[in-house]
Every structure is written in C-alpha cells, then in structure tokens.
Amino acid sequence: MANKEIPYKIYLEESEMPKAWYNLRADMKNKPAPLLNPATGKLMSAEELSDVFCAELAKQEVDEDTAYFPIPEEILSFYKMYRPAPLVRAYCLEEKLKTPAKIYYKFEGNNTSGSHKLNSAIAQAYYAKKQGLTGVTTETGAGQWGTALSMACAYLGLDCKVYMVKVSYEQKPFRREVMRTYGASVTPSPSMETEVGRRILEKHPGTGGSLGCAISEAVEVATNTPGYRYVLGSVLNQVMLHQSIIGLEAKAAMDKYGIKPDVIIGCAGGGSNLGGLIAPFMGEKLRGEADYRFIAVEPASCPSLTRGAFAYDYCDTGMVCPLAKMYTLGSNYIPAPNHAGGLRYHGMSPILSQLRADGLLEAISVPQTEVFAAAEYFARAEGTLPAPESSHAIKAAMDEAIRCRETGEEKTILFGLTGTGYFDMYAYEKFHDGKMTDYIPSDEEIQKALSYLPDMSKYDL
C-alpha cells in the first residue's frame, strides 16, 4: 500500500475497539519475580495484597497465566468517552526531518487529565467501587495520575485523597486545582499528616519530596482508614494490564492498513505506558510470530534501566510496600529537583525489568535539554504540544529517523505520545529562557543510593 493512502490519523470504529486487556506475563517464559513481604521476605499472596489493594486488582496483580481479561462493560463505556486514541502518521515531522522513515505515534493526551493514566485510573476506581469501598488514596508526582484518578473517582462517586510530591504541588498549582475540581483532596508530600511523612521530614527537612515518599504516605492513610484502599498509577502488573489497551488499539489500527512497525519506542517512568504500548507486539515476539525492536527511553537524571541494579528493592521510601524485583536506583534515590517532567520514580515495572534482563527490551537515557529541544521541534512540525515525559520518546524516535536519513533505510517507527504539555509551561519557560540544565548523577551517587538496597540474605528463604 502506498504511503499516502494511509490517513494522517487512523481511528478505530467502535466495533473494532479491544474488548479485553492482554496480560503479557502469560507469554513470558521468564516470569517477573513475585512481590515479597518486606517483613518476612515471603511471597505476597493475592489475599495478603488485598489488605492494601482492592481484591480484584490484587488477583490481577499475581495472575501470570490468564492471557486476556475481558474489560467490564462499565469501563468500556467510560473508554468510549475518550477512546479510541488516534494513531497518527507523522507526515509533517517526516517531511521536516527529510527522513525515509515512516513515523507513527499513538496520542494519549486527548482527554482532560491529559495522559494515558486515565486508562488504569478508571479500571482501579471501578474495582474499588464494585468492592463497596468508600474511597482510595494515592500519590502523584507531576500530577497526571492524581488528575486521572480524580476524574475516575468523580465519575463513580468515590472519595479520592491524593499525596502530591511537594515540588510539583508548588510548581503546578493548576494541576492541583483540576484535581480539586473533580472533588479530590490534595496534600503536599511529605506532610505532617502521617507517621511516615513526619519521619521523612525529620530526616530530610526541607525536602521537595519524591514519589517514594508520597507512596508511603498514601499507603499509610489507606491502611488506617476503614473502607479505603491504595491505588498506584504505574509500575504494578495490574497497571500494565490495563494499559495494554494502548498497544491493542495501536496494533488493530496498524493491522487495518497492513503496517508493521520495525521499532517501537516509549518513555519509561514506572513503565506503564511503554509496557502497554509494546504488550501485543512483544507477545508476538515471545511466541515467535514476529520480530520487533523495543526501546525504553528514560531521563539521564533518573536512569533506573540503564544504570540501576536488577534487584529486589522497596517500592517506597518508607519501606512499607511489598518488595519488587526490578531495575532500581534504590528507594532513597531522589532525582535532582531541576528535573522538570515526571519519570522520576527510582524503580521500574518488574515486567519490563525482566524483559530488559532477558535482552528483549533495549534502554537508553537522554538529557533533559535535548528532550525539550526535540519537544519544540515536534510541536512546530506536528502542531501537538507534547508532555516532557512523552518528549523522551520523541527524541529517541527523531534520532532513529535521522539515522534512517543517513542510511536510506525506510524503517517504520512507532512511538507513544503519552500526554499533553499544557501543564508543563514552567519547564518550557525555563528551556526557552536558557535556564534549563542537565543533571546527570555521578557513579558515586548511584552507588551510594544502591547501598541501601535491602539485604535479602537476612530473610530465611
């Protein structure tokens, strides 16, 4: 099929939309390592996990055999309000780059929360409601997850308490107000409201906080409040499952036109959008049906996949959550506050970590100023204002397209454009004013943070 016959945007008909989420673990030979109880070092069962998470989500968390989970009718109806997300052929960017490569991106920033996070927020809120809970707690870093969860909770009539990383709380007042508009309560973290918050503030007075701190606070409040559970916007297997909707739609749209990507690129914070985007393609690769290259792109200031250790670690700074085996910089690692976007989490999805360890997923890191330069180039070419997180994937996709210009290869590139940049104008301002810097941690800093990994030999396993 000739290039130009492919529309600028490929939409799916309602009847073509995925009706089930795909669980990549079912096709993985080496399964991701299970979550462990930090007190005993023993495997966490779904039952134990359901003290913190909703029961149905705890089941999804530990299920590594069921390949497809039907999407409940109520969630399908909610998805119809903002899905399908368009698959865009980046004709204008290709032309501007003078590349023979064909570039596609899946745009998840078209809903009010502004990112892909709504895909899992509605699922998690739905299962909480179905269980008869009254509310949920969570953390939010840059604010997208908190916004998405507030929208989902407002829709279903659930209370929502959000612990927002303090630097973001101060830098992004509009995010905060969007959450409050949807009825959520928003507290800057670390706060004096929780035991763990007080402990962290005592140790690090004046800290701008981190996702790890905010998670500890949200978990503490959820476990101490009757009728509440904790929900998390990334990293977990259940989130990866819900986000498979991104990849399933992208693949259905590409299949419709007989397009097969050679390389699939996504930004990686906790790994949920990338895990969701690659899921059905990686499934084909694991089953030996097709081959693709997969590239995770992370910020040079928080390089878990490229410079971290593959080890069991705490998921949060307060060390109350289960232990996960993942690429990590250590739960004490707090990225430099000059890092503008999300993607600040110290660890990475256990699923993506295992794929990386098995050589199935490549990973690169990119410095912040280059990311913003790519974001601006993209905005001027394609019109869409990208989120800084998404722009990590843009940067890598553009580099790949430029290599194609040099070699003459007509590769097909697919990348995830996870969100809109409207809430990140302070970061763009810094970039335009020449005040943006690149902070790259030294080996010593990383080694120091890694020295706090849990000593697994203390458990009698």
Ligand X SMILES: *Cc1c(COP(=O)(O)O)cnc(C)c1O
Interface with ligand X (CB under 6 A) = 115, 117, 144, 234, 267-274, 342-343, 387, 389-390, 418-419
Angle between helices 211-224 and 195-203 (to 10 degrees): 150
In angstroms, give the least distance from the CB of 52 to ligand X.
19
Question: Torsion over CA of 186, 192, 195 and 199, rounded to 10 degrees?
Answer: 120
Angle between helices 173-181 and 144-156 (to 10 degrees): 10
| Closer residue to ligand X in complex, CB, 144/191 | 144
| Closer residue to ligand X in complex, CB, 28/232 | 232
| Closer residue to ligand X in complex, CB, 272/331 | 272
In angstroms, give the least distance from the CB of 461 to ligand X.
29
| Closer residue to ligand X in complex, CB, 347/454 | 347
| Closer residue to ligand X in complex, CB, 160/232 | 232
Tell me the sheet residues that pair with 105: 88, 415
Query: DSSP assignment of 298-367, as one string?
Result: EETTS-HHHHSEEEEEESSTTS-SPEEEEEES-TT----TT--SS---SS--HHHHHHHHTTSSEEEEE-
In angstroms, give the least distance from the CB of 276 to ligand X.
8
Question: Torsion over CA of 291, 261, 284 and 393, rounded to 10 degrees?
Answer: 100
In angstroms, give the least distance from the CB of 79 to ligand X.
18
Closest CA to 303 of 111, 441, 410: 441
Residues 6 or more apart whose CB falls under 8 angstroms from that of 270 comprise 233, 234, 235, 239, 345, 347, 348, 349
Which residue's CB comes closest to ligand X? 419
| Closer residue to ligand X in complex, CB, 99/189 | 189
Cα dist from 90 to 6, 284, 287, 293, 418, whole Å:
11, 25, 30, 20, 15
CA dist., res. 5 & res. 91, Å (int):
12
How many of the other CB atoms lie within 10 Å of CB of 25? 21
In angstroms, give the least distance from the CB of 106 to ligand X.
12
Q: Is the dihedral of CA 141, 144, 145, 146 positive or negative?
A: positive
Residue 86 per-residue DSSP state: P
Which residue has tokens 């256990």? Answer: 350
| Closer residue to ligand X in complex, CB, 149/274 | 274
CA dist., res. 61 & res. 237, Å (int):
5
In angstroms, give the least distance from the CB of 234 to ligand X.
3
| Closer residue to ligand X in complex, CB, 392/411 | 392
Omega of the bond prior to 84 within 30 degrees of 0, cis? Answer: yes
In angstroms, give the least distance from the CB of 57 to ligand X.
16
In angstroms, give the least distance from the CB of 5 to ligand X.
31
| Closer residue to ligand X in complex, CB, 232/449 | 232
Cα dist from 21 to 16, 60, 178, 245, whole Å:
14, 11, 29, 6
In angstroms, give the least distance from the CB of 141 to ligand X.
7
CA dist., res. 81 & res. 79, Å (int):
5
| Closer residue to ligand X in complex, CB, 133/240 | 240
In angstroms, give the least distance from the CB of 272 to ligand X.
3
Secondary structure of residue 439 in the 3-state scheme: coil
123 touches 155 (CB < 8 A): no
For residue 340, the Cα-to-chain-centroid distance in whole angstroms is 16
| Closer residue to ligand X in complex, CB, 421/454 | 421
| Closer residue to ligand X in complex, CB, 197/419 | 419
In angstroms, give the least distance from the CB of 446 to ligand X.
20
Q: Residue type for 328, please?
A: T
In angstroms, give the least distance from the CB of 321 to ligand X.
16
